Amino acid sequence: METARMTNNGYIQIPLEIRKKLNLKGGKNVAFVLDGNKIVIESAGETAFKAIKEAQRAFEGVAEEWGVKTEQDVVDYIKNFRKEIAEEKKRI
């Protein structure tokens, strides 16, 4: 277990061994994830990857329900969606 002291301004230096394990270098973003009463620090890239995977799982099967089979179907769906939003804004 590694420890660090937080300054009055809230700064904490991440211990060298932790930075090495997470491959964190100066200027790299980190994410703070609240897990109950714990804070998990991870590479922001890893957090983004997890979020994308979670979104993919959440949308599994939706394409078939919407009749989306090709990339062009996605493009058409987005165009129609934007058109509907624009028309709704005109009515307001």
CATH number of the domain encompassing residue 34? 2.10.260.10
17 in the same domain as 5: yes
pLDDT at 73 over 80: yes
Task: Specify the pLDDT at position 6.
Answer: 93
68 in the same domain as 90: yes
Contact by Cβ (8 Å): 18, 2: yes
pTM reported for the whole predicted model: 0.46
| CA–CA separation, 85 and 88 (whole Å) | 5
47 in the same domain as 25: yes
Contact by Cβ (8 Å): 42, 30: yes
Confidence of residue 67 (pLDDT cuts 50, 70, 90): confident
Query: Average per-residue pLDDT in the chain?
Result: 87
Beta carbons within 8 Å of 6's beta carbon, 6+ residues apart: 12
Task: Specify the pLDDT at position 30.
Answer: 85
Contact by Cβ (8 Å): 66, 77: yes
pLDDT at 13 over 80: yes
Task: Specify the pLDDT at position 43.
Answer: 79
Overall domain count for the chain? 2
